[in-house]
Amino acid sequence: MRHGDFARSREARYSQENALRGSAILTRPYIHPDAKSALHCDGVSLEALARRFGTPLYVYSAGHIAERLGLFERAFSGIPHVVCYAVKANSSLGILRLFAQRGAGFDIVSGGELERVLTVDRHAAERVVFSGIGKTAAEMDLALRSGILLFNVEGEGELELLSERAAKLRRRPRMALRVNPDVFAETHPYISTGMREHKFGIDIRRARALYKKAGKHLEPCGVSVHIGSQIRAADPFGAAAQRVAKLIAELRKDGHAIRYMDAGGGLGIEYHAERPFDAEAKVREYAAALMPAAESVGGITLLLEPGRFLVAQAGALLARVLYVKKNGAKTFVITDAAMNDLIRPALYQAYHEIVAVAPRRSSRKMVADVVGPVCETGDFFARDRELPPLKPGELVAILDAGAYGMSLASNYNSRPRAAEVLVEGRRARLIRRRENVDDMLATERLATGL
C-alpha cells in the first residue's frame, strides 16, 4: 500500500502499467481517487468504513489478494505446483475463504489453524501442509483423520511420534523432513530460520539417516525447507533449493520416491513508500531462482508457502487520533489503536507508512511519535515520523498491515480486539465483529470461597 498523495503521479503510472499487462487492479488498493476525496480501499471510502464499523479497524482488499495469488500461479505455470498460503500471516476466516475459493493450498503450524481451514472448506485438507516444531499427538491425530497433503517433520522425536499415531489410526501419511540448508538470508534475526543454530528443522547432513528411520507407517515423499521471512533477494532461495535438489537425488538413490519439494515461503515486500517495488517482477525473480533446481531432478511438484507477500499490502489498520500531546521538544500523536492491535513495530522495530485519511492541501509537516494508549513505552507505531499536521478526531491509516497484524493481536490492557472488513470492489463486508468485554471474560471463572 502507498499513500494517497501519490495518486496523481503514481496512480497514473500504475494504471498505465496495469493496462499494458491487462490488469485492472492497482499495485496498491489504498489511494486518493482525486485531490478532494479521502483515502479509499478500492471503491470504498475509509471515512465511511470508520463511521460504519468504528476504529481501530482492519480493512483488506480482496482484489489485491487475488491479484497477488495470480502472480504466483502465472510465474510457476511451467511446473507442477501448489501455492499453500501461510495461514499464520492472517488467519481470518474471510481471508482463508478467498484462498480456498481460488483453489489454493494452506501451510499450517498448529491444530487450531487446521480447524480454521476445515471450517472454511473441509475438502481443502488435501491441500494442507503441516509445519511447525511442536506438533502434539492430538494435532497429529486431527491432521491424520483429515487427510492432509503432507507433514513437514522437524525432528527425530516428532518422526517417532508421527509413526506411532499413524500406526494407531491405521493411516500412512505422506511426510517430508524439513532440512536446514545453512543458507544465510539477510533479514531480522527473529524471522531467520534456515541456519543450523535455529530451532527449526534438522541439519541437512543428517537427513538421509532420518529418512531411513521413517518405517512402514510413513510415506517419505518430500523434502521441505524454509530459510526465513521478509527476504527480498532471490539468491538465497535459489541456493537453498539447489541443496535440496541434491538431497532429493541422493534420497531417490536410497530408494525413496521423492516427488514434492517444499520451498517454504519468506518472499519479502517493501514497507517504505519511497523505495520502488514491483511485485510481479519480484515473483518472476523468485520463480527463476527456484524452478531450475526443481526441474533438475524432475518429477517434482513444487510446494510454495507465501504469506506476507499475498496479504500484507492488501491491508491497513485504520485508527482515530485521540490527542496530540507535547512533552518538551517531543510531539506525540496518540491514537485509539495500540500495540495490542499491531505489535510489529514494538516486536521487530518494523516500519509502516502512516498516512492521513483526509487529503492535505497544506505543505506543512510535523515530526511526531505515533503511539497508542497502552501502558508501555514500547507501544508505538512510528518514532520521529514526518507527518501532515494532525488533530484529535482525524483518521490515520497504518499501511501494509494485512500480515502479522490481526494474527498477532492480543487483549493486553484488557483491550478488545479490532473488527475486520473485507472490501470487494465497492462492497464492504464485516468478516470479524469487534470484540466486547463479554467476549474477553467468557472463558474466565471467578473463584469463590477461598
Distance of CA 362 to the CA centre of its chain: 36
Catalytic residue among 41, 84, 221, 375: 375
- Residue 311's region, left for phi above 0, alpha for psi from -120 to 50, else beta, is alpha
235 Cβ contact list (under 8 Å, min separation 6) = 289
Environment class of 347 (CB within 10 Å of its CB; exposed 0-12, middle 13-18, buried 19+) = middle
Q: Which amino acid is it at 150?
A: L
Residue with cell 511451467: 78
Question: Would you list the DSSP string of 246-308?
Answer: HHHHHHHHTT----EEE----B-----TTS---HHHHHHHHHHHHHHHHHHH-S-EEEE---H
375 is catalytic: yes
Cβ atoms within 10 Å, residue 226:
25
CB 290 within 8 A of CB 302: yes
Q: Which residues, at least 6 apart from 237, have a Cβ–Cβ distance to it below 8 Å?
A: 227, 231, 263, 266, 267, 286, 289, 290
Dihedral-angle region of residue 233 (phi above 0 means left; psi in -120 to 50 means alpha; beta otherwise): beta
Pairwise CA distance, residues 67 & 25, whole Å = 7
Distance, in Å, from the CA atom of 6 to the CA atom of 27, rounded to the nearest integer, reads: 12
C-beta of residue 379 within 8 angstroms of C-beta of residue 372: yes
Phi, psi of 428 (to 5 degrees): -115, 130
CA distance 320 to 336: 6
Q: Which three cell numbers stand for residue 150?
A: 503432507
- Rounded to 5 degrees, what are φ and ψ at 402? -75, -15
What separation, in Å, do the N-terminal and C-terminal C-alpha atoms of the chain show? 54
Going by C-beta distance under 8 Å and a sequence separation of 6 or more, which residues neighbour residue 89? 307, 308, 310, 311, 312, 402, 403, 404, 407
Which residues are tagged catalytic? 375
